[in-house]
A and B are shown apart, each in its own frame.
Chain A
Amino acid sequence: MKERLLLVDDDVELCELLGDYLRHEGYEIDYAHNAIEAVERLEGSHPYSLMVLDVMMPGQSGLELLQQLRPRVQLPVIMLTGRGEEIDRILGLEMGADDYLGKPCNPRELLARIRAIRRRSDQAGQQTEFPQQPVELHAIRLDPGQREVRVAGVPVELTSAEFNVLAYLLHNAGRVMTKAELTERVLHRPLTAYDRAIDVHVSRLRQKLQRAGDTQELIKTLRGEGYMLVQEAR
């Protein structure tokens, strides 16, 4: 069965052009031109495997829509943000988008991101990447089967990207993971120049862990190298 994607953008012609492009690559495509239509589509009979969401829409913006959907709807989301609007990107990732892409964008690039996220969620379903059994380090307990994280017994809500970052760092505790490595393994795409997606995910993850009671700053930043989850607590 073909995968079905939802394109949400107020630009009708652009939707049609991108739709044609993606159909040619083997996807089923539906459109929504504003937030209300998008919600209707999502509640309709077709299950979507991914949503491409434009930030700048009249009425309810893409960010507001995402905020409304998360965490109830776990569908992977790629945000289309205006170029240079770093704040939108960071906000988008914080609200639970899985990745972002500057608009206007090359459709080939959009396709690559869609494929990366699809690969990622397939693997999350099949769990080929990591062992299934729960991992425990310090006060953190991560259960890949349940996709659940607890800090000192308290459950922590993580987006799928944050969950994957943590899982990857936990499995490689004590080793420095470069940004490029993390981007490839967690976001399933190559790192690009001025790409801060991983940094945003890590910093959000760190905040959430700290709020849940991790006082030791387990995730270290190594400038110019990458990130590391410390093996030994101080």
Chain B
Amino acid sequence: MRWYRSLYWKIFLAIWLSSVLVVLATAVIVGSMSLDERDAEVHETRARALAERMLERHEEGRGFERLQRKPPRGIPGLRITELGSNSPVFDTLPQRGPGASPALTFELDSESGRRYRVQVGAWPQREQFGRFLGLLVSVQIVLILLVSALTSLLLTWLVVRPLKRLRLHTRALAQGDLAVRTDQKLAVRGDEIGELAREFDTMADYVERTLGASQRLMQDVSHELRAPLARLQAAAGLLEQRLGENDPLLQRLNRECGRIDRLITEILSLSRLEALEPVAEAFSVYELVMELMEDIRFQQPDRPLSFELPQSCRVRGNRQLLERALGNVFNNALKHTPVGTAIELTHATVGRQHELRIRDQGPGVPEDTLEQLFDPFFRQRSNVASDGYGLGLSIARRALRILGGSIEARNHPAGGLELLIRLPVA
């Protein structure tokens, strides 16, 4: 998850943005009203002071040519008229245009007792944008930032933390820990998160019940099949004593018994995978592969085997799962390739993952059926005579998923089927 996608930052941004907008709106509406009043006062005071100074100058007989030419900055047009004679003293108000009408008019008594009327043009409007910018960098905004950060932290603590805990439970469920339920602290909450937690528990109950029931059914059926199969085999044994070992029909009978037996074993082991206890400790993949190689050498002494695997290769979880998965992958290769051809295992670490590649030198598999190898009881169309792939590879895939890994198949460019197993580094 990118950092900016996290709920914390979303909450932070939302709070920050809304506070800033509220403050700006308030500042613009309220602030502009009060500023207008203040501005008017300031303007009048400044205009009075200027007019007084000018009248002093006027009565002393000094002229204002310089002022007439270049009006002082910040002061709009100004017209001063002596009231008695009604003669103009000073005039910079334009005759026409937007500044022609005075915005402010007041009367002034000079020290000599004469009375004057002062008319001041409109003050230029201070720019709104500048005021806005000023607000943005003001102390208020920094305060808003701080308060939003704190509020977001609080909200995150209230919302995100329980959500994260709930996510951990969900992940445990997805990884096959069907007994997982939310902790008491989550489930007793009165808010929506509490509701979600309780819904999660209900769902987990349902999943556990459903999966448990189908698993039990599979197990029960397989168990029940075993008893008649055992009797069948015993009966075949008795028949063998009478007819001799070499009777072709008896051999056929024994072979089919063996097939049913293997099938039952596979179904049971598939349903039992989920029931295996989760283990938190890491185990050595190297030692496991050594053991499996020994078994293969025992089964097929003429099979060339090679493997490249660092002794440090370790994986966390139940060792039996990987033993089942790798054992099935190897057995699959043994079953579907000629005895003299090599099987090789290579290892690479990519990021935080082990990559194990098991490659055989057989004919490979048609591209469009590669993914189907992992379907239960998948059978190659061209290869009707064989036993089919049975459950071996689907068991392998399920076992690896429980370990947090994956398996996929591809045809090696130089020939042969290659199975790629990815597992998280312990």
User: Interface code B331-364, partner A: CB below 8 Å = 1, 0 otherwise?
Assistant: 0000000000000000000000000000000000
Contact check: which of B226, B236, B290, B294 meets A82 at CB < 8 Å?
A: B226
Interface size bracket, A side: 20 to 34
Contact check: which of A17, A191, A193, A223 meets B234 at CB < 8 Å?
A: A17
Give CA–CA (A13, B228) in the complex, Å. Answer: 9
Contacts of B91 in A (CB 8 A): none
Contact A103 B226 (CB under 8 A): yes
Contact check: which of B234, B238, B268, B287 meets A83 at CB < 8 Å?
A: B268
Contact check: which of B232, B240, B264 meets A108 at CB < 8 Å?
A: B240
The DSSP consensus for interface residues of chain B is: helix
19 CB contacts below 8 A, A to B, read A17-B234, A17-B235, A20-B238, A83-B261, A83-B264, A84-B269, A103-B230, A104-B226, A104-B230, A104-B257, A106-B257, A107-B237, A179-B294, A180-B298, A193-B295, A193-B299, A224-B290, A224-B293, A224-B294
B114 at the interface (CB under 8 A from A): no
User: Interface code B155-168, partner A: CB below 8 Å = 1, 0 otherwise?
Assistant: 00000000000000
Contacts of A14 in B (CB 8 A): 227, 230-231, 234
Q: Which of B229, B236, B237, B261 has the most CB of A within 10 A?
A: B237
B241 at the interface (CB under 8 A from A): yes
Contacts of A234 in B (CB 8 A): none
Contacts of A180 in B (CB 8 A): 298
Q: Assuming A14-B230, A82-B223, what are 6 further A-B pairs, CB within 8 angstroms?
A: A104-B229, A104-B257, A105-B230, A105-B233, A193-B299, A223-B290
In the assembled complex, the CB of B91 is this many whole angstroms from the nearest CB of chain A, namely 111
B254 at the interface (CB under 8 A from A): yes
Contact A104 B261 (CB under 8 A): yes
The tally of residues in B whose CB lies under 8 Å from a CB in A reads: 33
A11 at the interface (CB under 8 A from B): yes
Contacts of A105 in B (CB 8 A): 230, 233
Give CA–CA (A13, B230) in the complex, Å. Answer: 10
Contacts of A103 in B (CB 8 A): 226, 230
Give CA–CA (A2, B120) in the complex, Å. Answer: 138
Contacts of B229 in A (CB 8 A): 104
A24 at the interface (CB under 8 A from B): yes
B259 at the interface (CB under 8 A from A): no
Give CA–CA (A84, B268) in the complex, Å. Answer: 8
Contacts of B257 in A (CB 8 A): 104, 106
In the assembled complex, the CB of B288 is this many whole angstroms from the nearest CB of chain A, namely 11
Give CA–CA (A167, B294) in the complex, Å. Answer: 25
Contact B238 A24 (CB under 8 A): yes
Contact B254 A106 (CB under 8 A): yes
Give CA–CA (A11, B235) in the complex, Å. Answer: 14
Contact B298 A193 (CB under 8 A): yes
Contact B299 A21 (CB under 8 A): no
Q: Which residue on chain A has the smallest CB distance to residue B267? A: A84
